[in-house]
Homo-oligomer: A and B are copies of this chain.
Amino acid sequence: MKAEPICDMLVLEPCPKGELAVDPFVPPLNFAMVDHGIYRSGFPSPDNFRFLKTLKLRSILCVILFQVPCFVCRCLCQDPYPDINIEFLQENRITLVKIGIDGSKEATIPENRIREALKVVLDVLNHPLLIHCKRGKHRTGCVVGCLRKLQRWCIASAIDEYNCYAAAKARVSDQKFIAEFDETSMDQFQLHAKKTSFSTPDEALHHPEINREQ
């Protein structure tokens, strides 16, 4: 019996007997729909893969700076995305875009990387797209907060939404970053967002901050 969609995100999976499947979907931590074709969440685990499949994602934008202490060179080295997640992406033909942003409290939010993230988010050729960091609070919250400013939301509403997902962990530095983000500098890009794409590997090479994997 074929799964019956109610709306794009809502899928029923009837059992062979005609009764509904018992296993519930497990969305990732802090999952939400940002806009048509744009979702946000914390780090997806294998428990979430069945749910994520229903979103028919074309891209995942991971805004985490993967750093692990390297005992050979004693510097901070890039750590790959977990193998099991890479397998899921490959099986479902989802492009992974990694933009390294440090999520620690003390780190300065890198405006240029937030802008690169926004370019990926605004490009409809990447949709449906999931933005995620570790907990879906700070880095994802900053990207979405700045997106809201591009969408001409007032600052108070953009920050209210940031607070909703960051909850008790809301950071004044993130709120200040969103409030002060100059969205007008992206207008030219935004007006042409539908025509622009970083989807081809060649173009990705010209954007060293963007690390694409599939």
Q: Which residues of A contact B (CB under 8 A)?
A: 4, 6-14, 20-21, 23-27, 29-38, 51, 122, 124, 127, 150-157, 160-161, 164-165, 167, 184, 187, 190-191, 193-194
A27-B157 contact, Cβ under 8 Å, with A33-B35, A35-B7, A165-B164: yes
Interface centre among A9, A10, A20, A153 (most CB of B within 10 A): A10
Contact A191 B12 (CB under 8 A): yes
> In the bound complex, how far is the Cα of B191 from the Cα of A26, in angstroms?
21
Residues of B within 8 A of A122 (CB): 6
Contact A26 B157 (CB under 8 A): yes
Instruction: Tell me what chain A mostly uses at the interface: helix, strand, loop, or mixed.
Output: mixed
> In the bound complex, how far is the Cα of B152 from the Cα of A20, in angstroms?
9
> In the bound complex, how far is the Cα of B193 from the Cα of A200, in angstroms?
40
> In the bound complex, how far is the Cα of B166 from the Cα of A136, in angstroms?
18
Contact B7 A124 (CB under 8 A): yes
A12-B164 contact, Cβ under 8 Å, with A33-B35, A122-B6, A157-B31: no
> In the bound complex, how far is the Cα of B64 from the Cα of A126, in angstroms?
39
Contact A24 B193 (CB under 8 A): no
Residues of B within 8 A of A31 (CB): 157, 161
Q: How far is the CB of A59 from chain B (nearest CB, A)?
A: 14
> In the bound complex, how far is the Cα of B27 from the Cα of A24, in angstroms?
32
Q: How far is the CB of A124 from chain B (nearest CB, A)?
A: 7
A8-B25 contact, Cβ under 8 Å, with A13-B152, A31-B157, A157-B31: no
Residues of B within 8 A of A51 (CB): 153
Contact B167 A9 (CB under 8 A): no
Q: Which residue of B6, B14, B20, B34 contacts A33 across the interface (Cβ within 8 Å)?
A: B34
> In the bound complex, how far is the Cα of B183 from the Cα of A24, in angstroms?
12
Residues of B within 8 A of A21 (CB): 152
Contacts A20-B152, A25-B154 known; 10 new A-B pairs at CB < 8 A? A8-B36, A10-B35, A12-B190, A24-B154, A25-B153, A30-B160, A30-B164, A32-B161, A32-B164, A33-B34
